[in-house]
Amino acid sequence: MIKNLAALDNGPVTVSGWVDTVRDQKKVQFVVLRDESGAVQLVNPRTTDAEGVVVADEPASTISTLSQGSFVTVTGELKHDERVKLGGIEIKLATLEVVTVAIPETPIAADSSLDKRLDWRFLDLRQPKANLIFRLQTTFEHAMRTYWIDNDFIELHTPKLMASASESRAELFEVEYFDTKAYLAQSPQFFKQMAQAAGFGKIFEVGPAFRADPSFTSRHSTEFTSVDSEISWIDSHEDVMQLHEELLVAGFTAVKEKHGEEVLALFGVEVTVPSTPFPRIPLAEAKEIVKSRGYEVPRDDDDMDPEGERQIAAYVLETFGHEFVFLTDYASSIRPFYHMRHENDASITKSYDLIFNGTEISTGAQREHRIDILVEQAKEKGVDPEEIEGYLDFFRYGVPSHGGFGMGLARVLMLMLHQASIREVTYLFRGPTRLEP
């Protein structure tokens, strides 16, 4: 790998990669070769005859015809030279083998639109910034998984084909399933709670979820990776928030330690490990704070709208120097039937949204585990208990108090790297008008 060359002594090496640039000069040729780990400069002095005329020989002739993106394997002499701007090393070429030739005219450029770049995603992903996104994602997921495993959580892989809706059928994709219909899971919610009834205690899952939401915003997709966790024996949603913030601290710490310098160099962003506890603000209070800043959330909306999220995030950053804030105690009118309500005020739930850099990335709550109350809340929401009979059975045979959250992985990465769209940090984006590549 090119990244390993700097640690080697001067001497013979073999490397492979894509041709990035070619400078075909009269007396010397330079090629910048790139693989997934970095880039290195190749040097090929031109051969001349006794009269100083350049002789057409190899590998000079091949280099003169190289197109950007062609994949080659080269051998040569590695030389450390601090005058070389690209990493302080170069390779003096001995041989060059063209493994595959790229079409000279590339379909995308640096100034191509995002949609055009997504059409040619495999080419778009060759850039170092894109490569870093997915190495960073790997580190982030690994750190979360390490936290879970070190704290005795069980990893689950829940089914993505469901017989009935878990929340709103309006947001479900319906698919043919032999002689009946099935739905693509918009959340592993019911299955996470089933694990609590089964006595698993603490579980997590990182897997796909689907939302039939015809939204074209920069933060929505129809298929996304959901990070979910559920725990038993909680006293309130505060226990869930504590789990959530500890998990994020573990992830951000790992990213900063392993990729912080690269993120700063390529994205101009300094990864900040959040301090705990994260600020917590009841939703009603947050709306008043936003109003005092000159923006009023629409009165017919019990939720916090996107501008309200940006305003409260700005307030928290100014007041607490924090990029995260838990908005708590959401109205029961906009929360699912399985969210537990406060004992002294049934109009609000023991739930939260987590806002990161002005955008909601997660919803969490304590779940209602008492079957009689659960049935009544389902009816109140217009959910027919007979349609969720299998789910309700979990609570008829003894289930502990529990709660959890679901978090969009791509949103976290988008906001961590200060990217304008979730499409930039999703390997292959799926939206209302995109099913390819």
Q: What is the pLDDT of residues 335-394, one digit of tens each?
A: 999 999 999 999 999 999 999 999 999 999 999 999 999 999 999 999 999 989 999 999
Separation CA 349–CA 357 (nearest Å): 24
The answer to whether residues 283 and 365 belong to one domain is: yes
Tell whether 408 is in a known binding site.
Answer: yes
Tell whether 167 is in a known binding site.
Answer: yes
The answer to whether residues 346 and 380 belong to one domain is: yes
Tell whether 114 is in a known binding site.
Answer: no
The answer to whether residues 301 and 411 belong to one domain is: yes
Burial pattern 217-238, b for ≥16 Cβ within 10 A else e, equals: eebbbbbbbbbbbbbbebeebb
Q: Which helix (H) or strand (E) holds 62?
A: helix 60-64
Inside any domain, residue 116? no
Per-residue pLDDT, 299 = 73
Q: Percent of the chain beyond pLDDT 70? A: 98
Tell whether 283 is in a known binding site.
Answer: no
CB atoms near residue 349 (< 10 Å): 27
Confidence of residue 47 (pLDDT cuts 50, 70, 90): confident
Give me the mean pLDDT over the 285-314 stretch.
Answer: 92
Inside any domain, residue 432? no
CB atoms near residue 96 (< 10 Å): 21
Q: Which helix (H) or strand (E) holds 202?
A: strand 202-210
The answer to whether residues 373 and 313 belong to one domain is: yes
pLDDT tens-digit series, residues 238-267: 999 999 999 999 999 999 999 999 999 999
Sheet arrangement for strand 161-162: 161-162, 180-184, 174-177
Confidence of residue 161 (pLDDT cuts 50, 70, 90): very high
Separation CA 178–CA 184 (nearest Å): 15
Let me know: does 271 contact 260? Beta carbons within 8 Å: yes
Separation CA 187–CA 165 (nearest Å): 10
Q: Flag whether pLDDT at 70 surpasses 90.
A: yes
Confidence of residue 314 (pLDDT cuts 50, 70, 90): very high
Give me the mean pLDDT over the 84-105 stretch.
Answer: 96
CB atoms near residue 38 (< 10 Å): 18
The answer to whether residues 246 and 322 belong to one domain is: yes
Q: Which residues pair with 325 in a beta bridge?
A: 355
Number of domains within the chain: 2
Tell whether 335 is in a known binding site.
Answer: no
Inside any domain, residue 228? yes
Tell whether 238 is in a known binding site.
Answer: no
Residue whose C-alpha is closest to residue 276's, from 246, 240, 318: 246
